[in-house]
């Protein structure tokens, strides 16, 4: 496929994630065709995006080189699947997280697009071999799993089907990089991909520590937000270890490997997240943040504001690093 054929992306499903993808792709200059099977939903999505783009522009947080008006002009909405797919070289599916719904929409999409078109799913929890089981040509299929909210959290996990062609992974990696996301490639599919597996490990041990009365809900959250999270916004666990011993990772494992293995063997069984223990944890959480809509919405807004600030800090930080590298060349 030549570069001139790679201008238009179809976003299928215009809920929370579909709208975010549309904004991300438009920020990279792609023309984005949004389809939703609920009549009027795709039009509403564009109205919502218009509002968000204006707010982002005012806050100097708009992504990409184009103005809000230019990005908006790249978006169009469709209640007809075939029209939305016409001319698209890449399809990002964002429908409900239900296997049957995804299998059915991909069957419909495959009937309507050419052989070269890349079929990408936003699924959080379904492996590609399930999502694409109804597609004949699986070599052009993959999962591109975003993190909410994708506009500020740029990671996207690219997960291949066992038959996915290497060129499809490469093209998707290039598209995601062009729009400013940070793609990572899994070499094979696995339940939970990478991000949710790591997240599950953190949730499980946090849960056990609270359930066993070792620490409060409030304090375990501080362990992450004021402790581990401070580093992890910039460097991952591998680099953290590499930097935390005088001679790097090997030295770190010589010093601390046995201790880590000992702690790991004391981690108790997988929690069931149910019953009296779960009720107690929920009660403790709700005393900090009541679970009514008013409180939850206020905290979600605060979370997004904080993420916006962090995204800006990371952007400034990477610009500074780039300039320093150029100065040393
Ligand atoms: P959502 O419920 O907000 O939106 C889904 C949209 O898909 C709705 O507008 C619905 O009308 C539309 N839809 C449903 N069936 C359709 C069909 N057959 N054809 C066309 N449109 C259809 O859901 P969401 O939160 O945007 O999630 C979408 C996908 O993204 C899911 O697979 C989810 O797992 C994944 N995801 C979500 C998050 C998150 O935090 N919300 C994060 C990463 C990935």
Instruction: Express each pLDDT in 268-298 by its tens digit.
Output: 999 999 999 999 999 999 999 999 999 999 9
Question: Which ligand 1 atom is nearest residue 96's CA?
Answer: 5
Does any ligand 1 atom lie closer than 6 A to the CB of residue 12? yes
Cβ of residue 183 lying under 6 Å from some atom of ligand 1: no
Which pLDDT belongs to residue 83? Answer: 98
DSSP string, 202-223: HHHHHHHHHHTTSS-HHHHHHI
From atom 11 of ligand 1, which residue's Cα is the shortest distance away? 38
Structural contact between residues 208 and 271, judged by C-beta atoms closer than 8 angstroms = yes
Residue 326's pLDDT is what? Answer: 62
Q: Is 42 left (phi over 0), alpha (psi -120 to 50) or beta?
A: alpha
Q: Provide the whole-model pTM.
A: 0.94
- Give residue 161's pLDDT band: very low, low, confident or very high (50, 70, 90): very high
Q: What is the pLDDT of residues 229-243, one digit of tens each?
A: 999 999 999 999 999
317, pLDDT greater than 70: yes
Q: Determine phi and psi for 31, rounding to 5 degrees.
A: -80, 130
How many A from CA of 97 to the centre of ligand 1? Answer: 6
Helix and strand numbers (H, E) in the chain are: 14, 8
pLDDT of residue 328: 62
Ligand 1: does its nearest atom lie under 6 Å from the Cβ of 13?
yes
Nearest residue CA, atom 39 of ligand 1?
Answer: 148
Q: How many angstroms does the Cα of residue 17 sit away from the middle of ligand 1?
A: 6
Q: Which pLDDT does position 274 carry in this prediction?
A: 96
Query: Whole-angstrom Cα distance, residue 70 to residue 50?
Result: 11
* Residue 101 CA, closest ligand 1 atom number: 18
- pLDDT tens-digit map of 94-153: 999 999 999 999 999 999 999 999 999 999 999 999 999 999 999 999 999 999 989 999
Residue 41 beta carbon below 6 angstroms from any ligand 1 atom = yes
* pLDDT tens digits, 44-76: 999 999 999 999 999 888 999 999 999 999 999
Inform me whether the pLDDT recorded for 39 exceeds 90. yes
């Amino acid at each position: 496929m030549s570069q001139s054929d790679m201008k238009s992306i179809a976003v299928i499903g215009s809920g929370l994630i579909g709208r975010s993808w549309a904004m991300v792709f438009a920020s990279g200059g792609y023309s984005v065709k949004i389809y939703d099977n609920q009549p009027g939903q795709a039009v509403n999505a564009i109205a919502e995006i218009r509002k968000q783009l204006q707010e982002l522009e005012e806050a100097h947080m708009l992504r990409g080189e184009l103005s809000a008006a230019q990005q908006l002009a790249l978006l169009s909405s469709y209640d007809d699947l075939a029209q939305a797919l016409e001319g698209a070289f890449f399809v990002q599916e964002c429908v409900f997280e239900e296997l049957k719904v995804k299998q059915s929409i991909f069957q419909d999409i495959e009937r309507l697009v050419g052989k070269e078109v890349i079929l990408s799913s936003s699924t959080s929890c379904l492996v590609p071999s399930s999502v694409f089981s109804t597609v004949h040509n699986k070599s052009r299929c993959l999962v591109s799993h975003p993190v909410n909210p994708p506009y500020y959290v740029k990671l996207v996990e690219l997960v291949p089907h066992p038959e996915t062609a290497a060129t499809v992974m490469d093209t998707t990696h290039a598209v995601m990089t062009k729009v400013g996301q940070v793609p990572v490639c899994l070499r094979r599919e696995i339940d939970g991909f990478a991000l949710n597996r790591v997240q599950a490990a953190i949730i499980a041990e946090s849960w056990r520590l609270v359930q066993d009365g070792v620490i409060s809900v409030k304090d375990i959250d501080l362990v992450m937000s004021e402790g581990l999270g401070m580093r992890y916004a910039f460097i991952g666990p591998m680099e953290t270890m590499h930097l935390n011993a005088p001679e790097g990772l090997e030295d770190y494992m010589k010093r601390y490997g046995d201790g880590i293995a000992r702690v790991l063997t004391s981690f108790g069984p997988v929690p069931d997240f149910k019953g009296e223990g779960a009720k107690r944890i929920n009660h403790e959480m709700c005393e900090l943040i009541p679970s009514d809509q008013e409180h939850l919405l206020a905290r979600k807004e605060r979370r997004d504001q904080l993420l916006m600030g962090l995204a800006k800090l990371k952007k400034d930080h990477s610009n500074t690093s780039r300039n320093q590298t150029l100065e040393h060349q």
